[in-house]
Amino acid sequence: MRITADKTAIQADGVEKVTFTVKLGTKDVSEESTMNLILVKESGEENLDYGVRAFSTSVPGTYVFKARYYEGKAMVSENEVTVQVAPVSGGTSYYHKLLGMQFTSVGCQACPALSTTLKAIQTEQPGRLAVASFHMDFGGMTDPMSTAATNNYRTNILGNFSGLPRFFYNLRKGTKEMISIKSQIEEELQKELSNYPASCGVAVESVYNASDRTVKITGKLTSNVTNTYRCLIYLVEDGIKYFQTNGANDYTHNNVVRAVVSTSLNGDRFNGEVNAGVESTMQRSYQLEPGWNVDNMRVIVSMLTTLDGGKTYTCNNVNECKLGESADYLYNE
């Protein structure tokens, strides 16, 4: 079995990609669901998702790949391919904020520990993390804050995990199970910043009309590179008092996802490519439900890109504001 690439040198712009071909004898197994690429690192091997045959990155360096394929038994390519990724200069230095996706339930005993950890990280690193807390029924208990999106993310996008709590950065499945250990979540945060630099900035505008409880949200994007982007909008609510296992009868639930405003859980695609240096905007409206407290609500807007040829989309950068208010682009000082 051999692996080849359509190119062995790309720019570190997160856009230009290498496409690999994997052949078992004369049979092309590149698209097979049991084929996966392996990134060979000094620290060990990292498996890419099954069926992914493309790679792009914003981090310059030398990357070495091999392939594995399973048909009755596991086979590994007899050769490796080395890809050189060259640095890109210029562009605006946008502040990199991360989307933190928390999966939780009122029926989960260990869940308050993760909330405590995230609150501590947000206090120590203000403005770095926008947390969206997805509730689900669990442990035989119905969670009134659960949404259909929770299970969809869990099963279709984040690897069909079973236990709670769980935490993810930027819609990335990741290689580590983040549950509630602060040091680990901080370590992964730093890795996220260094391994996946932001190539765009995000601004948010939201206008609330009290007469019909409708919010009009505008997500704004300016990118350093011409690329395909998707815009993903969440409405979250803080300060919801409700029972929590291992918490209290009037436990305070924060960052609760009330709605995924976008049509798709992977965000809605901007028409055509987003050109470098030109602002693109996307508008969505949403009517709030009667029980939601407008004063405690926030809008989180994430801009998503793909690094694997469109198989998955992950958050490149994110911003948030109070519902009815706005947030401008964030820059590194």
Q: Is 93 a domain residue?
A: no
- State the pairing for strand pair 230-237/2-5: unpaired
The token duo for 100 is 């933190």
pLDDT values of the chain reduced to their tens digit, one per residue, 333 residues: 999 999 999 999 999 999 999 999 999 999 999 999 999 998 889 999 999 999 999 999 999 999 999 999 999 999 999 999 999 888 899 999 999 999 999 999 999 999 999 999 999 999 999 999 999 999 999 999 999 999 999 999 998 998 999 999 999 988 788 999 999 999 999 999 999 999 999 999 999 999 999 999 999 999 999 999 999 999 999 999 999 999 989 999 999 999 999 999 999 999 989 999 999 999 999 999 999 999 999 999 999 999 999 999 999 999 999 999 999 999 998
- Give CA–CA dist 268/264, Å, rounded: 6
Structural domain range at position 34 = 2-86
- Residue that finishes a domain, picked among 86, 121, 143: 86
The answer on 270 and 147 residing in a single domain is yes
- Residue that finishes a domain, picked among 86, 118, 145: 86
Q: Is 265 a domain residue?
A: yes
The answer on 110 and 43 residing in a single domain is no
293: CATH: 2.60.40.10
In a 3-state reduction of DSSP, which class is residue 56? coil
Q: Is 204 a domain residue?
A: yes
Q: Is 168 a domain residue?
A: yes
41: CATH: 2.60.40.1080
The answer on 250 and 292 residing in a single domain is yes
Q: Is 332 a domain residue?
A: no
Helix extents (H) in the chain? 111-124, 148-152, 182-195
The answer on 229 and 189 residing in a single domain is yes
The answer on 272 and 292 residing in a single domain is yes
- Give CA–CA dist 21/101, Å, rounded: 34
CA distances (Å), origin 37, targets 78, 194, 314: 13, 22, 19
The answer on 263 and 116 residing in a single domain is yes
The answer on 131 and 77 residing in a single domain is no
The answer on 246 and 130 residing in a single domain is yes
Other beta carbons within 10 angstroms of residue 304's beta carbon come to 25
The answer on 259 and 169 residing in a single domain is yes
Other beta carbons within 10 angstroms of residue 117's beta carbon come to 22
Q: Is 92 a domain residue?
A: no
- Estimate to the nearest angstrom the gap between the alpha carbon of 216 and the chain centroid: 23
Q: Is 264 a domain residue?
A: yes
Q: Is 321 a domain residue?
A: yes
- Give CA–CA dist 214/286, Å, rounded: 5
- Give CA–CA dist 145/2, Å, rounded: 50
- Residue that finishes a domain, picked among 66, 86, 106: 86
CA distances (Å), origin 250, targets 18, 69, 148, 241, 255: 53, 52, 24, 5, 16
Q: pTM of the predicted model, to two decimals?
A: 0.94
The answer on 39 and 19 residing in a single domain is yes
In a 3-state reduction of DSSP, which class is residue 115? helix
DSSP string covering 26-40, please?
Answer: TEE-TT-TTEEEEEE
Instruction: Give pLDDT, residue 174.
Output: 81
One-letter amino acid at 285 equals: S
Please count the structural domains in the chain.
2
Instruction: Give pLDDT, residue 269.
Output: 98
The answer on 148 and 289 residing in a single domain is yes
The answer on 186 and 118 residing in a single domain is yes
DSSP string covering 176-238, please?
Answer: S-BSS-HHHHHHHHHHHHHHS---EEEEEEEEEETTTTEEEEEEEEEESS-B--EEEEEEEE-
Instruction: Give pLDDT, residue 89.
Output: 83
